[in-house]
Structure 1
Amino acid sequence: MSPEFEQEFLRQRSTNIHELSNNPVRVLVQSAMWIDGAHWLPYAVLYTVFHAQAERWLGTLRWLTVCVAAHVLATLISEGALLRAVNEGMAPHSALNTLDIGVSYALAGVVAVLTYRIAEPWRYLYLAVVLGVYCLPLTSTPTFTDLGHFVSVLIGLGCYPLVRGRGRQWNPKETVAALRR
């Protein structure tokens, strides 16, 4: 694709306010199928590692529920916040057509729900890192995307009822001991 065609192609699949207003279901589904070309490798690696672990642990239906909940709810909340900022004059009108695509909200939700897969006390260290990674951007120059990622983490953590009793928790100490043998 030429850069111009690519931008238009992705913009039509973006969960920006303009597209959400015209066809919300279509863009919520299609936006999750694309990633920003400049950042595809880190997302591909993270997606593969975290989603594979989550799907194996939770099963496909529960894993998909976490992904969809994080993607859809975080998109609606972050775009709602952006719309409010535009209406209050805190963001430019052009923000209504911002390019917003990708699986990063689903990924953040899955990363968060995996907190419950880890045995205590390691769980709290993992949770601190997750919260640090997703909270830190909100403290400097927050964007609607940063808000969406943080909301996705909260949604993933809120999915505890889906994961309760889902088998044995992973204990890093046992893994290290097994590797030493």
Structure 2
Amino acid sequence: MSARYLPGADLAADLAAGAGPSAKARVLLAAARGLRLAPLYVAAVVGISIGIDRLSGPQVRTQIVAANSTNVANLEQHQVWTLFTSAFVLSGPIEPVQVVTLLLLTGAAELVWGRRRLVEVFLLTHVIASCLVYAVLQIGLRHGWLGREVARAADVGTSYGAHAVAAALACSLPVRARRVLVPAVLVLVVLPFADARTFTSLGHLLSTLIGLLAGWQLRHRPLAGRLRRPGAQRTDRPALYTFGTARQAQDALVLVLHLREQQLIRLDDAVVAWSDAGSGAGRPYRMHELQTRDLGVLDGALAGAAWGIVIGTFAGWPITGLTVGAAVAAAVAGIHDAGLSDAVVEQAARGVPAGGAVLVLLTSPADQPRITAALSRAGGVPRDPAG
């Protein structure tokens, strides 16, 4: 889809419109009042850490850390709850800088993406990166490349999720900021890994790469992975809007996505389509699409590999799970047509004059008048899907 779509662009526009630092601060404070998940998570981490320090000694902390580590010893014994509890336990006393950094990162992510996406990026990346590290260590131990003490090494903390959120945020920003921040977050994890090559630095590198992929998908597939509401296929009807150029249609798509961000409309799928209308012999008909929901084969392979390695870790065979998951999900993504069917989109595109474009939306009939009013101001002309 259009690279101009940025999650949280409405907040960015409000900040840009603020006249002076005080006005911008008021915008941020007003937005921060809606934060729920980020402060709750940081408070839980701080509370657990302080509770361990106040109610027990160093020996008890060591036992708690060992019991919640995502290390080879625990995961080989199928103690899979550690994949989640390890994100709430720290190996040592918490530092104020650590609290502030974690709160700023997760708070910014919640403001920009919303709570659901924050959970997906932070928690799922923490779990997936932990499983990947486990798989690498398991291979190293089986082949004698690593000492057995690695199997019981402590591996807890918030760093995997924090690195992923930082990388995804960097990838979610406008292009000029991305050119600086994306290389910066990579350098911050590549150099420590090249220097030390510990499993912790490997986890930071993997979680950063996963975060970059998540940030890319947030911009290019903002509706991917969203479950359709019950009965959506029975009650929703495609809404079609024609535009003079593909660029106008892409701008309109961005407008619709921001209406969804503001929870003003429900949106199950959105596709911009246009065609090269063949003229004369030798020029075949060609259609182009920008999709927001349907995953391609590569997207499916990456998602399947992520879920496969998690499920494989439960069974004790993470690499097998990764391989099978990637293959199966890639095949399903190539066959399955999520959201708007290709036939509906192709039919809509064929009815558009050469040089024009169509925006096809799958949404609730109750929301279509609001969408029509917004898109009419952007140059969109409603069209009867049956026409």
TM-score, reference length from structure 1: 0.85
Structure 1 residue aligned with 2:161:
106
**C-alpha separation between the residues in 2 aligned to 1:40 and 1:66?**
24
**C-alpha separation between the residues in 2 aligned to 1:61 and 1:145?**
27
Structure 1 residue aligned with 2:217:
161
Q: How does 1:1-181 map to 2 (within 5 A)?
A: 1-38=56-93, 40-159=95-214, 160-164=216-220
SS at match of 1:121: helix
**C-alpha separation between the residues in 1 aligned to 2:72 and 2:134?**
6
Aligned length: 167
SS at match of 2:110: helix
CA contact (8 A) 1:58 1:163 kept: no
CA contact (8 A) 1:43 1:104 kept: no
SS at match of 2:64: helix
**C-alpha separation between the residues in 2 aligned to 1:51 and 1:3?**
29
CA contact (8 A) 2:71 2:152 kept: yes
How far off is 1:163 after superposition? 4.2
CA contact (8 A) 2:70 2:155 kept: yes
**C-alpha separation between the residues in 2 aligned to 1:94 and 1:125?**
39
**C-alpha separation between the residues in 2 aligned to 1:39 and 1:137?**
22
> Residues 105-163 of structure 1, C-alpha deviation per residue, up to 9 Å, x if partnerless?
01011000001332222211111110110111111121111111111011111112234
Q: More strand by proportion, 1 or 2?
A: 2
How far off is 1:68 after superposition? 1.9
Inter-CA distance 143–42: structure 2 relative to 1 (3 Å threshold) = farther
Q: More helix by proportion, 1 or 2?
A: 1
**C-alpha separation between the residues in 2 aligned to 1:113 and 1:129?**
13
Q: Where in structure 1 do 4 or more consecutive aligned residues deviate above 6 Å?
A: none
Which stretch has the larger CA shift, 52-61 or 30-39?
30-39
**C-alpha separation between the residues in 1 aligned to 2:71 and 2:97?**
23
- State the AA in 2 paired with 1:134: V
Structure 2 residues without counterparts, runs of 5 or longer: 1-55, 221-253, 259-387
> Residues 21-68 of structure 1, C-alpha deviation per residue, up to 9 Å, x if partnerless?
223431111111111225643432221111100011100001100012
> Residues 72-131 of structure 1, C-alpha deviation per residue, up to 9 Å, x if partnerless?
111111121112222222211111111110111010110000013322222111111101
- State the AA in 1 paired with 2:155: D
**C-alpha separation between the residues in 2 aligned to 1:24 and 1:148?**
19
**C-alpha separation between the residues in 1 aligned to 2:179 and 2:188?**
14
- State the AA in 2 paired with 1:36: S
Rg (Cα) greater in structure: 2
- State the AA in 1 paired with 2:203: G
Q: CA RMSD in A?
A: 1.7
